[in-house]
Copies of this chain bind each other. A is one copy, B any other.
Amino acid sequence: MAAEGKGVVLLGAWPSPYAIKVKIALSEKGVEFEDREEVLSNKSDLLLKMNPVHKLIPVLIHDGRPVCESPIIVEYIDEAWTQGPALLTSDPHERARSRFWADFADKKVFSSIRSVWFGSVEAQEAGKKELAEWMSLLESELGEKAYFGGGSFGHLDLSLVPYYWWFHALKKTLDLGSASELHLPKLEGWLKRCLLRGSVTAALPDQDKLREFIQQIRKKRLPTN
């Protein structure tokens, strides 16, 4: 069993931005891995054993040893497999900037996504405004660069693209208010460039499938206001 012995196993869930990031990082580094889909309503014994503290996906199991929490896994992949281009630059300030915006997406963007997805009426309205603000911030942070780190795809691109993909799916599924009407030409051009990469297209879920998932969970979790 690869998870207990040699090799690389990813415990993930296909819609999870956290898991998508890790998949892109593994592909960028050319690491072959076994992709094990977890059913989050019925977590596997392996997941509970490998991440007993948080009991959450994704978990990367490398030669039997677990690495947990997606930003930590992405940096682990960059450091453990030194083949291919580094995902993070070597410049300390650029590394801090890249980590900052990746963390911003994990915390702020995903929190707003969850609010518009299945929050209370008030939380939904606040979430729409926040999403508009976050996307404008990212548009301005990208500026004239081809990728968030400059001329080549790297750490911050793979950390942000799952959330931007989710934003697209949400926009086509729900009324996002002012966030729907944003003009984001830089992010759109960047997304197109990202979608030219096999690592990205292999990890991102189909938009229709994602929209169906968004609707399903919304029906189940939306509070009856």
Interface size on A, residues (CB 8 A): 22
Of residues 39 through 91 on chain A, the ones whose CB sits less than 8 Å from some CB of chain B are 53, 62, 65, 67-69, 72-73, 75-76, 79-80
Most chain-B CB neighbours within 10 Å: which of A99, A103, A108, A137? A99
Q: Is the C-beta of A96 less than 8 angstroms from some C-beta in chain B?
A: yes
Q: A93, A108, A137 — which one has the most chain B CB atoms within 10 A of its CB?
A: A93
Q: How distant is the Cα of A2 from the Cα of B78 in the complex, in angstroms?
A: 35
Please tell me if A213 contacts chain B, counting CB pairs below 8 Å: no
* A75 vs B93: C-alpha distance when bound (angstroms): 10
Q: Check: A29 CB closer than 8 A to any chain B CB.
A: no
Q: Verify if A186 is at the interface (C-beta below 8 Å from B).
A: no
Q: Are A92 and B79 in contact (CB under 8 A)?
A: yes
Q: Apart from A53-B108, A79-B95, A80-B92, what are 6 other A-B pairs with CB-CB below 8 Å?
A: A69-B99, A69-B103, A72-B99, A72-B100, A79-B92, A80-B93
The complex places the Cα of A104 from the Cα of B55 at a distance, in Å, of: 13
In the complex, which residue of chain B has the Cβ closest to the Cβ of A108? B53
Is A96's CB under 8 angstroms from B108's CB? no
| Complex contact B53–A104 (CB within 8 A) | yes
Partner of A75, one of B73, B80, B96, B108: B96
Across-interface contacts of A72 in B (CB, < 8 A):
96, 99-100, 103
